[in-house]
Amino acid sequence: MTAAWIYGTRDAEAAAQLLAELGFSPHRVATNGTLRPAEGADRAPSLALILVGDDPEDPGEPACAELCARLAAEEELGEVPVIIAVEAGELAGAEVAEGHELLVAPFSLEELRARIGRARRAVHGVDHDDVVRVGGLELDLATYQVTVHGRPADFTYMEYELLKFLATHPRRVFTREALLARVWGYDYYGGARTVDVHVRRVRAKLGSELAGRIKTVRSVGYRWEDG
């Protein structure tokens, strides 16, 4: 399952249940400390849900704008789709401009699903149920199937995850360390050579025409060119 990190305490249990029904692995994050869950999520999230509202149980909650700024500053997380949920009576005074989508609580499962799709498309250009098509490459994000010029290609799980990550974050340069954190997870202790080996394998399976879309940025890392 893909991780969704929840910030804020108001109605967090209900929000976590809805995210779980949509196939996410929800993790509560203490907003007055690190931006990462204490345990249970070793990769960057595919979604951040910020629950705005004064809660007497958590008077130290930072403002929504501060949370968004801190998330954006985390290089290893990259650009995370952010959905901000606010109570209807507090909408006028809420700091919501920094998020990608806005939800007014209470919200339904279907509305949350739609907002997640819009937020992901705003950031990555694709939703998790979409198919990425670049040249002769077709990458089905729902079934984990890859075809190259109409023929199925056999990728290992980590090769697929690396290809998917690069293809859904086009034109952005990622260091080897950032790729280790985003694709392999924070708890992976392998060296940067792991990234180079997997890039070489992915290029070989893509073939000479598509392999060139994974650009090496000397002394930095890699980027995907979709144009």
At residue 37, the pLDDT reads: 76
Across the strands, what pairs with 215? 223
Q: What is the pTM of this model?
A: 0.62
d(CA 67, CA 40): 21
d(CA 83, CA 75): 19
At residue 46, the pLDDT reads: 79
166-195 confidence digits (pLDDT tens): 998 888 899 988 888 888 875 556 677 889
Give the 3-state secondary structure of residue 211.
Answer: helix
At residue 113, the pLDDT reads: 86
Task: Output the CA angle 31-56-104, nearest 5 degrees.
Answer: 70
At residue 137, the pLDDT reads: 92
H/E stretch holding 73: helix 64-73
Q: Please identify every stretch of the chain with a pLDDT value under 50, giving residue numbers as ranges.
A: 56, 59-60
H/E stretch holding 25: strand 24-29
The number of residues in the chain equals 227
Domains of the chain in sequence order = 2-124 (3.40.50.2300), 131-224 (1.10.10.10)
At residue 92, the pLDDT reads: 60
CA count, 13 A, side-chain hemisphere, 155:
31
